A and B are shown apart, each in its own frame.
Chain A
Amino acid sequence: MAKDRFAFKWQPWANLQAFYAGVFILMGAIISYWYPSMMFAGINTATALIILAFETPFPGFNRLGFVSTNLYLRALLYLAFIVPGLPQAPTHTGVLCLFCAAVTYLWAAIRGEPEPPKPKGDRPARA
């Protein structure tokens, strides 16, 4: 199915979704420093930065072997990252977007799409 060069790949969209979700979570985490329990602010800041590092991709984060290339693992990791964002309101939107991103990654993994391309790799196709 994915052999055709022109077939739609879900991975680039999942990448963008996760990137935006990371930005939203980071913003929410910064706001939640003023909320009663600072612990969540700290955890969410960390998860957001990890997401951004994977999705940018920050140099080095695409060379962690299995951890950075396997899409199933990434989907599961993002599903886990949803949990600390749930207790406080500012991170809710980011968590919802992260859920969408995780589902899209899972779908890409099920379809057997290859690992995310290296930054200089793909040239986008034209209509």
Chain B
Amino acid sequence: MEINWRLILFHLVFWLGHAALWTYGFFKQKNDPELAVLNSIGYSVYISRGAGLVLGVDCAALLVPVCRNIVRFFRSTFLNRIVPIDENLYFHRWMAYSMLFFTLVHTNAHYTNFFFVETKLPVLGLKAWQVHYMAWAGTTGHIMLVIMFFMYSAAKQEVKHKNFEFFWYTHHLFVPFYFCLFFHSFGCFVKSSVDGRCKGYNSNYGTVPIFCIYIAERILREYRARQPTTLSKVLFHPGNTIELRIEKPSFQYKPGQYLFLNVPSVSKLQWHPFTISSTPEEGFVSVHVRVVGDWTKKLAQTLGCFEKGMTKGVAVPQVCIDGPYGAPAEDLYNYRVAVLVGAGIGVTPSASLLKSVWYKYYRKAQMPLQKLYFFWVARNKDEFAWFQSLLASLEETVPTSFLEIHTYLTGNLDVDDIQNIALNNDGEADPITELQSRTHYGRPDWRRVFESVRASVPSSVGDACEIGVFYCGPGALAKTLGRVGNAVSNSRVKFVLRKEHF
């Protein structure tokens, strides 16, 4: 995540908002004459109540960014220009961090309160341990604390990446968590001394509806996933990449979107996101899956990818897909000039978009896009095989005044490769990709690349042009592109980085 004014603004608003909410809760408790008995304990009461109010709001807001379908809906509205809706998981995580902080404040202030209830308020006749473990609030509170302990520790990258299923199961503890939250104030510990009315935060008015909406979301996802889906073709590409072609009549998508894939015979409960590498015109949905971790490796084995020769007797497994979900790449056609950058397997959204460009060009469709640059950075030459035929046909049909293709090979070459390249280099086509455009060796100098893109913005585009840079791949390159884009932008031409990440 590159640090820019937007990020700083978000954190400023986020934390000031939380502080304001806490302060409001603090004074609301302090200035309430009906709660004078409890207030006589002192500051720990106001601190705990302030934190409690913040937690009530946070628990409601926490679920909103993970309602994928609602998020997808808002992506296509004006809201996306104000708030970066693609960063919904970032928001979810920071909500969780805020919850962790305020939970610690809330819990520790309450522990202080319980002790003082026993010593300073003999009129209530309660021992500290009774409030801890026998009251509704204490019991549900402790259960929630233990649940949070498991959820947070299993959600860290170190655990999530090594065993996703484990993270998935523990994260579903949110269901008992929310039930505990709903019943947290049932004991009516905080009572008005005038009319005995419970003076909680009424947070259930917020958390219950949102929880129900999230459950409805999950039901919708399950229902959609069970629509008829068939795996029609599996191709095993060099570079350890599997292409799956799936047919699902009820699935409508746009190029550049992504889906979640589930293969029950590999893992019943894991759903993994993959960019769709096909276009709707092709009549099927394809994804390119690179074999990297435990799920993908098992998938490859199930599909018989590691068998030598023709695969015999490999049963076609059932697959389920959920989606489509929006991604930045969807907005490509809104820009007059765009740059597509794909690194490694991150080339998949670019592939889908380029295919769509091919179809549009073929149909002579009208679109704002006037110039498209495509940069494919691959570590070894096998990876170019994935979309070589697509690029070859693009080169034939689409003129370079519209589409420029640049390929970069960044990995080390051994002597045989170098000799091979040298031998074949005098032909019409590039020795590695068999395209007209020559492969560059080594990493691109992004500064020079962006400067030449800026310089060659056609005058037909006019002044004040925004160039969309659509990137998918490892995070380090995203940082570089963001940095270089900011540095090279001027008043006439502005580079806007739209990156995908899962």
- Which residues of A approach B to under 8 Å, CB–CB? 6-9, 12-13, 15-17, 20-21, 23-24, 27-28, 30-31, 34-35, 89-90, 92-93, 96-97, 100, 122, 124-127
Contacts and interface: CB of A to CB of B under 8 A. Distances in A.
Contacts of B295: 127
B149 A17 contact: yes
Contact of A90 (B111, B142, B150): B111
Nearest to A19: B153
A97 to B, nearest CB: 5
B152 A8 contact: no
Contacts, number: 84
6 contacts: A13-B154, A90-B108, A93-B142, A127-B161, A127-B164, A127-B296
A67 to B, nearest CB: 23
A32 B427 CA distance: 80
Contact of A12 (B128, B129, B162): B162
A38 B446 CA distance: 62
Nearest to A12: B158
**Most chain B CB within a 10 A radius of its CB, from A35, A93, A100:** A93
B217 to A, nearest CB: 22
Contacts of A126: 161, 292-293
Contacts of B128: 89
Most chain A CB inside 10 Å of its own CB: which residue of B104, B132, B163: B163
Interface of B: 104, 107-108, 111-112, 114-115, 128-129, 132, 142, 145-146, 149-150, 152-154, 156-159, 161-164, 166, 270, 272, 292-297
A108 B294 CA distance: 19
A126 B154 CA distance: 15
B146 A97 contact: yes
B108 A6 contact: no
A20 B149 CA distance: 7
Contacts of B112: 31, 34
A54 to B, nearest CB: 16
A53 to B, nearest CB: 18
A127 B146 contact: no
B153 A92 contact: no
Contact of B292 (A17, A20, A125): A125
Contacts of A92: 132
B158 A16 contact: yes
B107 A93 contact: yes
A127 B111 contact: no
A95 to B, nearest CB: 12
B294 A125 contact: yes
Nearest to A27: B108
A16 to B, nearest CB: 4
A37 to B, nearest CB: 12
A90 B128 CA distance: 10
Given A93-B146, A127-B164, A28 B154 contact: no
Contacts of B157: 124
Contact of A20 (B132, B152, B158, B297): B152
Given A13-B153, A127-B272, A35 B115 contact: yes
Contacts of A23: 104
Contacts of A97: 146, 149
Nearest to A9: B162
Nearest to B170: A13
Contacts of A8: 162-163, 166
Contacts of B156: 12, 16
Contacts of B162: 6, 8-9, 12, 124-125
Nearest to B157: A124
Nearest to B146: A96
Given A12-B159, A13-B154, A125 B293 contact: yes
Contacts of A21: 149
Contacts of A20: 149, 152-153
Contacts of A125: 161-162, 292-294
Contacts of B297: 6
A89 B111 contact: yes
6 closest A-B pairs by beta carbon, nearest first, are: A6-B294, A8-B163, A16-B153, A124-B161, A12-B158, A90-B111
A92 B295 CA distance: 38
B288 to A, nearest CB: 15
B108 A28 contact: yes
A127 B158 contact: no
A44 B154 CA distance: 25
B246 to A, nearest CB: 19
Contacts of A127: 161, 164, 270, 272, 292-296
A17 B166 CA distance: 14
B293 A89 contact: no
A6 B166 CA distance: 13
Nearest to A5: B294
Most A C-beta atoms less than 10 A away, residue of B150, B152, B159 = B159
Nearest to A7: B294
Nearest to B155: A16
Contacts of A24: 149
Nearest to B107: A93
Contact of B145 (A13, A16, A34, A93): A93
B273 to A, nearest CB: 10
Nearest to B114: A89
A68 B294 CA distance: 30
A100 B149 contact: yes
A47 B273 CA distance: 43
B161 A27 contact: no
Contacts of B296: 127
Contacts of B158: 12-13, 15-16, 122, 124
